[in-house]
Structure 1
Amino acid sequence: MTSADVQTSKSTVLDDWDINNSAIVNSDNPQEIYKEYAYLRRQCPVAHVDKHNGYWILTKYEDVKEVASNNEKYISYECAIVPADPRGIRRPPLKFDGEQHKPYRRAVDRTMKPARIKRLEPIIREHCERELQVLIDRGHGDIYEDFAAKWTSWVEKEWLNLDDADSAILVESFSPFVTAWRMGNQWDVVKKWSDAWYGIAKRVVASRKEHPLDPEVDPASSLLLETDRNGNPLEEEHIIGCIRQIVIIAMVAPTIVVTAIAKHLSEDRELQTKLRNDRSLLPAAIEEFIRLYVPYRGFSRTAVKPETLHDTTIPPKEPITVVYSAANRDPEHFPDPDRFILNRENINTHLGFGKGIHRCAGVGLARMMMRIFLDTILDRCDYWEVDGEVVYARLPEVGPTSCPLKFHRART
């Protein structure tokens, strides 16, 4: 179904609804976006958008799962995210497929084993406690800008084994980079900080070539150890690109999810109290939070050959957005999808970490981060509340990117 077909369908959103001018494409308002996802699932589960050089939107759980999982039919090499980087840069592992992808994923996975994550836990907890305490002592602060953006940068520092100077660059650059990217018209700012991250990656690779670290605990050393299917070392350009790719993805998603969780709990004092009093509930709560607040609506694949879904044929090389934020709210798979339900029977099927070969490599680290954050804020506050305007992300993400909170200290 094309955008014209969508416009001629009877709409339950707005009488003159046009997908090209819709909240899904243009807005940062999650409630409007989720409402339009629900409309598309009912009326047009395979929809075409003319903007951003044209792309398709999938909103049903089974469709998103199939396209994200079937790596024979759908690839990420042509376009991995909408809107696409206008420079056409292809960095592994996200924009590599098949045999090309495997050594990069092996190298990253090697550094994400449970034993490594367990060793990182006390260090990451220390960073969390320090950064969060600044806001709590002050009594207020933006949980995204003043805490989560900084904390996730420190987590990256520990995982990549960066020195203090490069760690400071990460902390400084994260917010201006993602803000400029989302605006879509500040490519000079995007390039400035992207180049700075390339500089970090180049320095790390040069250092590890001279002084390798244990590949079980260091991504750059792990990448330098890998070979392609012909037994040749990976190209240094791609190793640098892989580290550069990892930097941004590993900071954007956790920052939004942490902020969304904090906002949700500020509005559900009963759940906040329940989790504070029984920490055994945290793992189940974290999965439901991730289902509800998966922050991506722009990850994409392209078909290798024409593929038909719901009687609509999608041609090759046209981006297909696998909208995890829509799939996770599909009522056919998750009943009462917009409500937080602790211990959902099928919660382990959520697509909050993606699906297929490009599924998030840092699943264990992300879950640990959410648990550390919740432990810390629940221990140190009686409660917290929204204290100002909440700002939300534009495409390709969905979720809060600014959330001022007022903190009420835990009684001692």
Structure 2
Amino acid sequence: MSHDFDPLVSETFDSPHDDYARLRATCPVAHSDAWGGIWALMKHDDVANAAADWRTFITSQQNVIPKVAFTGRRPPLHLDPPEHTPYRRALAPLLSERRVERLRPVIRTICRDLLAEMVATGGGDVVADFSAHMPIATFAHWMNLTADQVRDLTAVGKRYNIAVQSNDIAATKESSLWLYDMARAIVADRKANPMSVDEDATSALLATRVDGEPLPEEMIVGTIRQVLVVGIIAPSVMIGSIVVHLARDRALQAQLRGDPELVPAAVDEFLRLYTPYRGFARTAVEDVTIRGRTIPAGEPIALVYASANRDEDVFTDADRFRIDRPNMKDSVAFGRGPHMCVGAALARLELIVAVEELLAAPGFALAGEPQPTRFPEIGALSVPIRFETAA
């Protein structure tokens, strides 16, 4: 079997995109010997079609490359329709645009408080000091967590992220088990002290019935465990990538600072340009041939969303930021099909408010080279910046 790319190679912030451009042009259905052998789809249409065709490309066998699920099944990501649907249906109303809009002032206060400390000291690491904390604090409000739970989640969430990025299997398992313990504690508390299903995700899951029967409690625990992680890592990485771009493009930084109404459109283009996922996986239930290459049934396939969203056959000037891009609907930043991100509205709101508040602070520049993530995320894990004295 050919070894078309190496996902374990040392990277810079920009180098993966250069490699993916090469693969889109020369080997769009790529194979790597890493992690026992994986496939990767690089072109937009192939990624979008595989994500939407859940009957052929299942997620229940392996959902992420590298495989990090050691401690149980976590709906809805780890299940295929129709098994995944009751879990998603319980969460969706609490993550609608109208529902999450209530969190806008909460997110703004969180952002201002975190940035005030950075501005006061002249800068810092925008990921470690800002974006790693903001999504956790936001989720605390959305999930009705206590202050102690927020503190613990902040610490273990950082450990989990570093462990996954470092391919530290032992630390990944340890931190994942802790997150499971936290999820069990949340479920136990909601059983003893139920909240409105219109206000609380755990209570909504506990109240869900399928054919008159409640959802299995351990699967509810798995859902809460999944939500705790998915909702904190991607926004953190994404904000880091946005800051790298704005620090490099001072004209765009000034333009958005002068016209904040452009920020939502800018965020959508940033999401296309710096899609933070490349390792979400599917497994074909039968041999499939894509662009003349046959992928055997049962082998893991990475849907490289980050590559798909820079496909030159779909996006003109795909590597360039364009705030007026006409076909933004083609972006697969939040996926496609039944596993399209249920929390997309909340994630987008977090990014919009975070960018607005960053631009309300003094101008900023890079104070060092950004540290990149590794599979399965793609983007910035550390971004040192300095704030400049306001004129």
TM-score (structure 2 length as normaliser): 0.96
State the secondary structure of the residue aligned to 1:301: strand
Find out whether 1:404 has 2:379 as its counterpart: no
User: Measured at CA, do residues 211 and 409 of structure 1 come closer, stay the same or move farther in structure 2, by a change above 3 Å?
Assistant: farther
**Mapping 1:6-405, distance limit 5 Å:** 19-20=4-5, 22=6, 24-85=7-68, 87=70, 89-184=72-167, 186-228=168-210, 230-381=211-362, 383-405=363-385
The whole-number CA distance in structure 1 between the counterparts of 2:265 and 2:330 is 13
Q: Which moved more, 1:194-203 or 1:60-69?
A: 194-203
For the Cα contact (< 8 Å) 2:71–2:173, is it kept in 1? Answer: no
Letter of the aligned partner of 1:108 in structure 2? Answer: L
Cα distance, 1:182 vs structure 2: 1.5
The whole-number CA distance in structure 2 between the counterparts of 1:187 and 1:284 is 39
The whole-number CA distance in structure 2 between the counterparts of 1:90 and 1:53 is 22
Letter of the aligned partner of 1:53 in structure 2? Answer: G
The whole-number CA distance in structure 2 between the counterparts of 1:79 and 1:28 is 25
Cα distance, 1:409 vs structure 2: 4.7
Cα distance, 1:87 vs structure 2: 2.5
Letter of the aligned partner of 2:78 in structure 1? Answer: K
Q: Deviations over 1:358-393 (max 9, x none)?
A: 111111111111111111111122x10010232101
The whole-number CA distance in structure 2 between the counterparts of 1:25 and 1:303 is 24
For the Cα contact (< 8 Å) 1:380–1:409, is it kept in 2? Answer: no
Cα distance, 1:396 vs structure 2: 1.0
State the secondary structure of the residue aligned to 1:406: strand
Q: Which moved more, 1:41-50 or 1:81-90?
A: 81-90
Cα distance, 1:299 vs structure 2: 0.6
Q: Deviations over 1:110-156 (max 9, x none)?
A: 21123321211111211111111111111010000111101111112
Q: Which moved more, 1:349-358 or 1:87-96?
A: 87-96
For the Cα contact (< 8 Å) 2:163–2:171, is it kept in 1? Answer: yes
The whole-number CA distance in structure 2 between the counterparts of 1:54 and 1:90 is 23
Q: Deviations over 1:212-244 (max 9, x none)?
A: 11212211011111123x331100000001000
State the secondary structure of the residue aligned to 1:302: strand
Letter of the aligned partner of 2:4 in structure 1? Answer: I
For the Cα contact (< 8 Å) 2:131–2:239, is it kept in 1? Answer: yes
Q: Deviations over 1:176-230 (max 9, x none)?
A: 221111211x3332233222211221111111112211212211011111123x3
The whole-number CA distance in structure 2 between the counterparts of 1:41 and 1:367 is 28
The whole-number CA distance in structure 2 between the counterparts of 1:350 and 1:190 is 31
For the Cα contact (< 8 Å) 2:51–2:336, is it kept in 1? Answer: yes
Aligned residues: 391
Q: Deviations over 1:24-77 (max 9, x none)?
A: 443332432212211211222111111112111110100000001111211100
State the secondary structure of the residue aligned to 1:120: helix
Letter of the aligned partner of 1:300 in structure 2? Answer: A
**RCO comparison, higher one (Cα < 8 Å, 6+):** 2
The whole-number CA distance in structure 1 between the counterparts of 2:200 and 2:347 is 17
Cα distance, 1:410 vs structure 2: 4.2
CA RMSD of aligned residues (A): 1.5
State the secondary structure of the residue aligned to 2:35: coil
Structure 1 alignment gaps of length 5 or more: 4-17
For the Cα contact (< 8 Å) 1:389–1:404, is it kept in 2? Answer: yes
State the secondary structure of the residue aligned to 1:99: coil
State the secondary structure of the residue aligned to 2:39: strand
For the Cα contact (< 8 Å) 1:198–1:240, is it kept in 2? Answer: yes
User: Measured at CA, do residues 57 and 47 of structure 1 come closer, stay the same or move farther in structure 2, by a change above 3 Å?
Assistant: same
The equivalent residue for 1:7 is none
